[in-house]
Amino acid sequence: MLLSGHEIREQLGKNIVIDPFDEANVNPNSYNLRLHDELMVYEEVLLDMRRANRVRRLSIPEGGLVLQPNQLYLGRTVERTETHNLVPMIEGRSSVGRLGLFVHVTAGFGDVGFCGYWTLEMFAIQPIRIHAGVPICQIFYHEIRGDITEYASRKYQNNRDIQPSLLFTELNPEHQDDPQLRLSFGHERPGS
């Protein structure tokens, strides 16, 4: 069963955290999340699942940034969310989809217990100018039945930044505990 907008409000501070929260972003059965002002792109032409692929950061300037087709852009939400006893999911807004911008390639499904920012896998059908702070996607919540084991992956849980793929840590378990890896991918920022 999907939570209504009223129930999302009721669950705030209990099973749902959305920070910052703005009442104007509550929809009948979802909540709009906004695009942060920074993106990440892979520098590799050929991506390899078994290793960390180099990335480069881009800032979205005041006048916006034009996304080009055939390029994957990783972004993140302005809002940090935390969900307990419910399954969070994100989906692109229809107004954004009608401009030919996909906000997630396959990863719109969240896990019960996920805490952090949502990484967006953005792909444009044609050139499109995007702007920081725009409501880019919506989060919605499903009830879950049965015993719950909350999400606890060290890869993405409690992230503080855009998260490129860390699949290689599953395929090469010796990389899982590398503190430099965690710094380089934004799990922890130097001095934080």
The pLDDT profile of the chain, 192 residues, written as one tens digit per residue, is 999 999 999 999 999 999 999 999 999 999 999 999 999 999 999 999 999 999 999 999 999 999 999 999 999 999 999 999 999 999 999 999 999 999 998 878 889 999 999 999 999 999 999 999 999 999 999 999 999 999 888 889 999 999 999 999 989 877 656 544 544 444 443 333
Q: Are 172 and 50 in contact (CB under 8 A)?
A: yes
Q: Which residues, listed in sequence order, are joined to residue 170 by a DSSP beta bridge? A: none
Q: Tell me, what DSSP letter sits at residue 126?
A: S
HSE-CB of 51 using CA atoms within 13 angstroms: 8
**pLDDT score for 178:** 56
Domain limits of the chain? 5-173
**Distance between CA atoms of 131 and 35, rounded to whole angstroms?**
8
* Cα 59 to the center of its chain, rounded Å: 17
Catalytic residue list: 121
What pLDDT is stored for residue 184 in this prediction?
46
The topology under which CATH files domain 5-173 is Deoxyuridine 5'-Triphosphate Nucleotidohydrolase; Chain A (2.70.40)
CA–CA distance, 152 with 80 (Å, rounded to integer): 16
